[in-house]
């Protein structure tokens, strides 16, 4: 018998000129990037929150607070490795992850396979367990005005009993 749990994660960051844009561990060339304490990778942050939530461990801010300068400009994939370790320490393995990035520009379809590969490698799981989709906001709201980027993530974890 298997014990399944599900977690949901969400993150949002403001975009501004002259900052770096990192999504799914991949640097993307664009004139705007995220304003953040870490590297601002909203996709990885959403995955971290989903993982932590699936095991009722809290959220990313509990473990990696922006008030701690040791996390200043940190590669978010390091945070993801630590989140995976916390989940595995509770006896769970990653089943699959489904994510959506909402960003008006640039188009990120050309980067999705690289993101999937990087995230799978970081999480020590098979690439088939990682789904990443992209959408725009059709010009509406914060994302549509190119002022921000959002990411949503759902994870399934399991434990063999």
The string of pLDDT tens digits covering residues 96-146 is 999 999 999 999 999 999 999 999 999 999 999 999 999 999 999 999 999
Cα 49 from Cα 9, distance rounded (Å): 5
pTM (two decimals): 0.94
H-helix segments, 28-157: 42-54, 60-63, 76-89, 112-123, 141-144
76, 95 contact by CB (below 8 A): no
Tell me the mean pLDDT in the region 76-92: 94
Which residues, 6+ apart, have CB-to-CB distance to 155 below 8 Å? 6, 7, 8, 9, 47, 50, 51, 54, 94, 95, 96, 97, 98
Q: What are phi and psi of 94, to 5 degrees?
A: -80, 125
Q: Taking 70 as the threshold, does the pLDDT of residue 71 lie above it?
A: no
> pLDDT-derived band of residue 76, with 50, 70 and 90 as boundaries?
confident
Which residues, 6+ apart, have CB-to-CB distance to 38 below 8 Å? 45, 64, 66, 71, 72, 73, 74, 75, 76, 79
- Residue spans of the domains in the chain: they are 2-160
46, 99 contact by CB (below 8 A): yes
> pLDDT-derived band of residue 2, with 50, 70 and 90 as boundaries?
low
Average pLDDT, rounded, for the chain? 92
Identify the top-confidence range among 33-42, 62-71, 90-99: 90-99
Q: Taking 60 as the threshold, does the pLDDT of residue 158 lie above it?
A: yes
pLDDT at 68 (0 to 100): 72
Q: What are phi and psi of 71, to 5 degrees?
A: -100, 5
pLDDT at 57 (0 to 100): 95
Pick the CATH number of 2-160 from 1.20.1290.10, 3.40.50.2300, 3.30.1330.50, 3.40.30.10: 3.30.1330.50
Tell me the mean pLDDT in the region 76-101: 95
């Amino acid at each position: 018998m298997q014990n399944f749990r599900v977690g949901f994660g969400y993150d949002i960051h403001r975009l501004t000129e002259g900052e770096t844009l990192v999504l799914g561990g991949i640097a993307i060339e664009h004139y705007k990037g995220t304003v953040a304490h870490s590297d601002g990778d909203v996709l990885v942050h959403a995955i971290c929150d989903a993982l932590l939530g699936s095991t009722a461990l809290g959220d990313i801010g509990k473990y990696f607070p922006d008030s701690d300068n040791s996390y200043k400009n940190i590669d978010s994939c390091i945070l993801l490795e630590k989140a995976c370790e916390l989940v595995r320490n509770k006896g769970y393995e990653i089943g699959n992850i489904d994510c959506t990035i909402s960003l008006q520009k640039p188009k990120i379809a050309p980067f999705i396979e690289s993101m999937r590969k990087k995230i799978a490698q970081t999480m020590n799981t098979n690439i088939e367990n990682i789904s990443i989709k992209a959408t725009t906001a059709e010009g509406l709201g914060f994302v549509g005005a190119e002022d921000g980027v959002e990411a949503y993530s759902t994870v399934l974890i399991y434990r063999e009993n």
